[in-house]
Structure 1
Amino acid sequence: MLLPGVLYFIVFKYLPMSGLVIAFQDYRPFLGIGGSSWVGFKHFANFFNHPDFWMLFRNTSVLALYNLFFFFPAPIIVALMLNEVRQRYLKGWIQSLIYVPHFLSWVVIVGIAYIFLSTEGGVVNELLVGLGGDPINFLLSKEWFRPLVVLEVIWKETGWGTIIFLAALAGVDPQQYEAARIDGAGRLRQLWHITLPAIRSTIVILFILRLGHFLDTGFEQIFLMLNPMNRQIGEVFDTYVYTAGILQGQFSYTAAVGMFKSVIGLALVVGANRLARKFGEEGIY
């Protein structure tokens, strides 16, 4: 049963890591890795001294923090709410409904956002005008770019993220709730003293793993949401790698950018894991 998963990580995660050596080369596709000259940390120095570095770092970090503070707790809250639904049919129907957006591509999600938020016939702006307000150009607004990105992520992935938390909640001994009710504990007391401690280790592990992808804000969604009006706050490392690496052919330079992201993620995971173990949690290793 483990073999397909192990093969997936070996083929698509570990073997491609050998290609990271081009971050230290002046890589030429026709010469290959063996024939390209070595340049050391030249590409890293160029990246850190690039005029757009701090803009990219700020945009990526802000979006990552938004996702961490607003998206990460969303599946936990929804899972706790679903756990309180006693009718199995209703609970199953709600779960199926909120899982669906996960299977939609970002092209579809962003397309739906454009339909709802457009200034010409968009449902939201039509409602605002109907209430006596002025239409808002959400799609071209710098102020609305980040909230829209986070809201789209929450709508798409919250339902799917509840699966692991619901699985953890299913392992809670019902006798603990019965004993708490006998002692006079209400729903909130049971939630605070039984439910949350039962899934605390799961929350900590997923939080640590999430930090490993801290700077991975997602390419497809951001790329589809970008336009000349919001690019100054919307351009992130992922879209920059596409522009510089794929469109401009700077393979070694963008490999250095990708390695920089990975090193930051590794440092965050190691630091968060040590901090978790200091507070008595198991961590991920």
Structure 2
Amino acid sequence: MITRDPEAFFARARQCPLDFGPAVPRAAFLVAPDRFRRADESAQDNRYMAPADAFDGARAQAEHRALHLRMAGALPTVCFPGHDDTPDAVFPNNVFATVPGHAIVGRMHHPVRRREAARADIRGFLYDILGYRERDLSQQPHACELTGSLVVDRARGLGYCGLSARCDAEGARLMHDAFGLRATLVFDLAPGEYHTNVVLAVLAGRAALVCAGGFAAPRIAEAIAAFYAPHALMLTSAQQAAFAANAIALTPGTVWMSAGAAASLGPEARADLDRAGFDLEAVALDALEAAGGSLRCCIAEIY
């Protein structure tokens, strides 16, 4: 099922057991900010991106290295080098994703990001080393920026796809099929929002972080929160701006976000995560966040 009808979607979702697949990845990969700078094309529709003079390549490198080291203590984590002609490659989750047995390559909206999909080293790692079969969406015309636009509940096989310039309705359908999901809810993001994973996170199928202001129709956000209650945190606009929803569960008992995002959470929000069974892992990423994304955007998951 792929639908814009939340009532129909959640009627189906309530029938989906937690048996679709692993709720968290078995490994991950990153792309280093070796040529870290502002990508003017991407800045056209990413309001979170800082001005060019706010980009600090040396600090971004140090932060990214610290993230890699921290993640490697939790799960196997590979890091690929950056390239001169792909300044946004630090966010590989928009371009590459996996499901058991398959690797998915997305279609990026901006030409500067389409170059990432052609990287022979990452494709070779996924296809030749890990042995995944190919699901390549990069050559068709519809934008579908994978787990930037599509937030996936891996435990139930559910997708939440926000439409913007970065993903149209046909792109949503293509991703629904490529991920093999049981049901996908399609909705419009609020004007000025570019990716769903900045306004929504589903954590190991057990909890959700929801920014109602990021949805064109707040009732969609409220319905998602109701489905994951009592472990659904409704975030404020300030927490959204701090990238608190750009979080990920990398193990069954940990949720990861940037230090700035974690600092935006009050005691009650932290207690809610604790009640849901999560320890909070916070990593300083303020230099990397100048590029308009945060910790979850940096991580391409391997299932």
If the length of structure 2 is used for normalisation, what is the TM-score? 0.20
Which structure's residues are more often strand, by fraction?
2
Larger Rg: 1
